[in-house]
């Protein structure tokens, strides 16, 4: 541990596999344990990446025969003003949260049958958690979204054909509606079999200066009043 962790009075024991390195990560883990205790049961973890100017560079790949490592060589074109703007945007948490809001609206329409976003009280809105992190590259954020079931989602009415999968919906219906998504990388869907493991994974980059949860766009389980 980087610092001594001060336990909360309402401390809930964490699974042994949870790695806690700082106080903020610990407190966020406690909050996530409350969500789990209150029956937040995500069914899928959705991972999406965002468009970045590096995707437009002219690149070629050279393999190292010993390590099979790929090296990318960029073009010599000067960076356009818009590219500079996008690079800064991809590292700005407030801009990312704006993207999350637009993505969430499309997901609610396409997967959960929410036709009128200004009248959410008429629909069953799923519990969901948005997490964002920079990963190893540190040049842009990517997002992990934990989605839960609703009766509409379980019914499969969101499918346009019997063969359409969840990945089809995200990559062929949701992704084209938002320009913020990466042109290179597809949206990846993974079934959640271990809820606590998924929550721990999504909390791994939390620090005192970076809170991984987007509280503004997440739809959280109501905590019990004491």
CA–CA gap between residue 130 and residue 46 (Å, rounded): 10
Is residue 73's pLDDT more than 50?
A: no
CA–CA gap between residue 193 and residue 216 (Å, rounded): 26
Question: What are the chain's domains?
Answer: 23-52+90-202 (3.30.70)
DSSP 8-state assignment for residue 170: I
CA–CA gap between residue 212 and residue 130 (Å, rounded): 8
Question: 């219906």: which residue's tokens?
Answer: 173
Tell me the pLDDT band of 92, cut-offs 50, 70 and 90: very high
- What are the phi and psi torsion angles at 157 (to 5°)? -65, -15
| CA dihedral (145, 139, 197, 168) positive or negative | positive
Q: How many CA atoms lie within 13 Å of 176's alpha carbon, on the beta-carbon side?
A: 6
Q: For 183-223, what is each residue's pLDDT tens digit?
A: 999 999 999 999 999 999 999 999 999 999 999 999 998 86
Residue 184 burial (10 A CB sphere; 0-12, 13-18, 19+): exposed
DSSP 8-state assignment for residue 50: B
Range in 29-38, 64-73, 82-91, 97-106 with the lowest mean pLDDT: 64-73
Q: For 128-140, what is each residue's pLDDT tens digit?
A: 999 999 988 888 9
**Mean pLDDT value across the chain:** 89
Q: In this predicted structure, what is the pLDDT of residue 187?
A: 98
Is residue 42's pLDDT more than 90?
A: yes
Q: In this predicted structure, what is the pLDDT of residue 212?
A: 96
225 contacts: CB under 8 Å, gap ≥ 6: none
CA–CA gap between residue 173 and residue 106 (Å, rounded): 9
Region 25-43 average pLDDT: 94
Region 164-179 average pLDDT: 97
Evaluate if pTM is beyond 0.95.
no
């Amino acid at each position: 541990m980087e610092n001594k962790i001060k336990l909360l009075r309402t401390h809930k024991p964490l699974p042994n596999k949870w790695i806690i390195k700082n106080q903020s990560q610990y407190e966020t883990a406690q909050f996530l344990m409350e969500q789990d205790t209150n029956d937040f049961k995500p069914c899928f973890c959705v991972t999406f990446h965002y468009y970045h100017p590096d995707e437009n560079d002219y690149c070629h790949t050279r393999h190292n025969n010993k390590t099979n490592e790929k090296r990318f060589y960029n073009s010599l074109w000067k960076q356009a003003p818009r590219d500079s703007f996008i690079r800064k945007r991809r590292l700005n948490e407030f801009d990312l949260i704006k993207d999350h809001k637009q993505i969430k609206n499309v997901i609610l329409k396409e997967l959960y049958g929410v036709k009128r976003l200004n009248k959410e009280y008429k629909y069953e809105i799923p519990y969901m958690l948005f997490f964002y992190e920079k990963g190893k590259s540190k040049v842009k954020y990517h997002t992990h979204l934990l989605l839960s079931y609703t009766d509409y989602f379980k019914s499969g009415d969101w499918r346009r054909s019997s063969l359409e999968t969840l990945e089809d919906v995200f990559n062929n219906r949701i992704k084209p509606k938002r320009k913020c998504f990466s042109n290179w990388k597809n949206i990846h869907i993974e079934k959640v079999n271990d809820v606590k493991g998924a929550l721990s994974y999504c909390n791994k980059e939390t620090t005192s200066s970076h809170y991984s949860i987007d509280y503004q766009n997440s739809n959280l389980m109501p905590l019990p009043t004491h």
